[in-house]
């Protein structure tokens, strides 16, 4: 799909079981046709009129401005936009790492923006795997121990052989006993990725998850993630500057100055029942 190919004039509509649906264009219409039932369900994630304002002293910065979006289960979603446009902030909202200043975040139809911190933390560890821009690996633990940590936190047994096989798959078996400072940036990124996946999360959130990798390694990692998305129906939301990655996504959310300027999606507007 060519990112520049969709304009307002592409808006298409279709009648499905007595309801009228609007689409961002023929691509979205095709997507709907392939799986119309999916879009009747409650979205897995929903942002409703989300504003985020950061206050530094007297200065207020509006970072997200009235953002509303839906993400459906099993989708691969790419978030794109210039530096400072609000991509990481959106990911933090979606992943329950931050709360909106106003507006709501729904997970499986439940408003999670007002839950207590402990409940949010629990939901977060049960639902999400994160790969951040900063890898946030624990410096005094080895690569293997870092990857095993989410299972320890969740009180699950560590599947050592499976974890070793995963290290092998991303070419890091010889580095399992290294500590983060003994790894290159790209190697740390891959360890962070394994850690994000080790708890078998339903939703994987990545902030430029292949940004520091050479293209061959990046493509391999990406193929691994896309495979998880396709085979195991994991929902996969990543921030990326890479048009080739965004091109593979089911849905692309483009941000500019905290506003959504383009969202390839199926939009439901019901005026006939």
Ligand X SMILES: Nc1ncnc2c1ncn2[C@@H]1O[C@H](COP(=O)(O)OP(=O)(O)OP(=O)(O)O)[C@@H](O)[C@H]1O
In the complex, which residues of this chain contact Mg ion (CB under 5 A)? 88
Q: Which of 5, 7, 33, 84 binds ligand X (CB under 6 A)?
A: 84
Question: Is 256 one of the binding residues for ligand X (CB under 6 A)?
Answer: no
* Ranges within 169-208 binding ligand X (CB under 6 A): none
Which does residue 150 touch among ligand X, Mg ion, none (CB within 5 to 8 A, set by kind)?
none
Q: Which of 29, 88, 113, 198 binds ligand X (CB under 6 A)?
A: 88
Sign of the CA dihedral running 142, 198, 172, 250: negative
Distance CA 216, CA 224 (A): 13
**Which residue number, 86 or 150, has a Cβ lying nearer to Mg ion?**
86
Q: How many CB atoms lie within 10 A of CB 73?
A: 16
Least Cβ distance, residue 125 to ligand X (angstroms): 23
Which does residue 185 touch among Mg ion, ligand X, none (CB within 5 to 8 A, set by kind)?
none
Directed axis angle between helix 185-198 and helix 143-153, to 10°?
Answer: 20
Question: Is 87 one of the binding residues for ligand X (CB under 6 A)?
Answer: yes
**Which residue number, 91 or 204, has a Cβ lying nearer to ligand X?**
91
Question: Is 89 one of the binding residues for ligand X (CB under 6 A)?
Answer: yes
Q: Who's near 16: CB < 8 A, 6+ residues apart?
A: 32, 36
**Which residue number, 69 or 255, has a Cβ lying nearer to Mg ion?**
255
Distance CA 50, CA 69 (A): 9
Question: Is 63 one of the binding residues for ligand X (CB under 6 A)?
Answer: yes
Q: Look at phi and psi of residue 267 and say left if phi exceeds 0, alpha if psi is from -120 to 50, else beta.
A: beta
Piece of the chain touching ligand X by CB under 6 A; list 8-16, 85-93, 157-165, 264-272: 85-93
CA dihedral 50, 87, 138, 119 (to 10 degrees): 20
Question: Is 252 one of the binding residues for ligand X (CB under 6 A)?
Answer: no
Which does residue 84 touch among ligand X, Mg ion, none (CB within 5 to 8 A, set by kind)?
ligand X
CB 189 within 8 A of CB 209: yes
Piece of the chain touching ligand X by CB under 6 A; list 11-19, 55-63, 104-112, 225-233: 55-63
Q: How many CB atoms lie within 10 A of CB 176?
A: 17
Cα distances (angstroms) measured from residue 27 to each of 3, 30, 235, 261: 11, 5, 20, 17
Which does residue 171 touch among ligand X, Mg ion, none (CB within 5 to 8 A, set by kind)?
none
Residues that bind ligand X (CB under 6 A): 54, 56, 61, 63, 81, 83-89
């Amino acid at each position: 799909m060519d990112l520049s190919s969709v304009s307002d004039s592409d808006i298409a509509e279709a009648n499905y079981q007595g309801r009228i649906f609007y689409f961002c264009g023929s691509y979205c219409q095709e997507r709907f046709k392939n799986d119309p039932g999916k879009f009747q369900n409650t979205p897995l994630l929903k942002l409703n009129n989300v504003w985020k304002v950061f206050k530094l002293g007297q200065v207020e910065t509006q970072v997200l401005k009235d953002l509303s979006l839906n993400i459906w289960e099993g989708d691969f979603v790419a978030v794109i936009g210039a530096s400072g446009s609000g991509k990481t902030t959106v990911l933090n909202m979606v992943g329950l790492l931050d709360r909106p200043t106003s507006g709501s975040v729904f997970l499986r139809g439940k408003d999670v923006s007002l839950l207590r911190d402990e409940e949010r933390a629990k939901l977060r560890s049960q639902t999400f795997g994160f790969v951040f821009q900063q890898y946030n690996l624990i410096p005094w633990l080895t690569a293997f121990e870092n990857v095993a940590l989410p299972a320890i936190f969740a009180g699950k047994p560590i599947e050592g052989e499976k974890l070793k096989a995963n290290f092998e798959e991303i070419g890091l078996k010889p580095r399992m006993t290294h500590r983060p400072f003994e790894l290159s940036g790209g190697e740390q990124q891959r360890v962070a990725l394994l850690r994000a996946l080790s708890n078998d999360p339903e939703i994987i959130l990545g902030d430029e998850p292949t940004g520091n990798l050479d293209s061959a390694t990046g493509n391999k990692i990406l193929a691994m993630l896309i495979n998880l998305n396709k085979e195991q129906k994991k929902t996969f939301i990543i921030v990326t500057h890479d048009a080739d990655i965004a091109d593979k996504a089911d849905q692309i959310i483009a941000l500019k100055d905290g506003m959504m300027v383009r969202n390839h999606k199926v939009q439901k507007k019901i005026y006939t029942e």
